[in-house]
Amino acid sequence: MIHEILPVGMLQCNCSILGDETSREAIVVDPGADIQRIQEVLKRHSLTVKQIVITHAHIDHIAGAAKLKALTGAPVLYNPKDLPLVKMMDLQAAWLGIPTPDVQAPDDTLEEGRVIGVTGLSGQILHTPGHTEGSVCLHIPDQNLLIAGDTLFAGSVGRVDLPGGDGPTLIRSIHTKLMTLPEETVVVPGHGPNTTIGEEKENNPFLQ
């Protein structure tokens, strides 16, 4: 599998580009900004985007989705429980002091247990509410990989003080959905460096 992680935008959201070497089909997760750079990576690997997956509807993760869809024709998938955050996009833009991006309702939904993928590459959606109500993680068991959005970070967990956030719900999601994965699973958080489930189980101060 091809996997490139591109920190995009002013908040350096980790955008993952996941591609299959044989079919050259790809999934782009969280194209929050810098769509031109994302397209350059896709071109370098001769990849065609088939799905745009959004872990949650915070502006730094979703703002570039409509633009990437317009350029590639790929559908945008996210959990509709985050639609209240989409309705607040002007407020989210004001927090960052940037123009309000064009953000549409999802073309398809990401619910617990949903299997998504492209030719040669598939993963399962884990619904992990807490950072937002619609937050999801993408688990790719074949690759021992978890794309975690803002649910789990190296040594930390997602903030819960924004609209839709809830602390106890977040910790419950992490314990029941993520800490039950194999310890060697590599975690790609929504911001910052990678970690593993085993490392966080042992050392994350929020999970002790």
Q: Which stretch binds Zn ion (CB under 5 A): 58-66, 88-96, 107-115, 138-146?
A: 58-66
Residue 118 CB, shortest distance to Zn ion, in Å, is 25
Half-sphere exposure of 67 (CA within 13 A, CB side): 16
* Residue 111 phi, psi dihedral angles, 5° rounding: -115, 165
Nearer to Zn ion, 50 or 58 (CB): 58
> What distances in angstroms separate CA 147 from CA 3, 87, 98, one per listed residue?
11, 25, 26
Nearer to Zn ion, 58 or 69 (CB): 58
Residue 184 CB, shortest distance to Zn ion, in Å, is 26
- Give SS3 for 128: coil
Q: Which residue has the tokens 């794309």?
A: 147
The closest alpha carbon to 27, from 42, 7, 49, 44, belongs to 49
Nearer to Zn ion, 58 or 81 (CB): 58
Residue 130 CB, shortest distance to Zn ion, in Å, is 11
Using rule CB under 5 A, residue 150 touches Zn ion: yes
- Give SS3 for 11: coil
- The single residue among 35, 52, 57, 58 that binds Zn ion, judged by CB under 5 A, is 58
- Residue ranges in contact with Zn ion by CB under 5 A: 58, 150
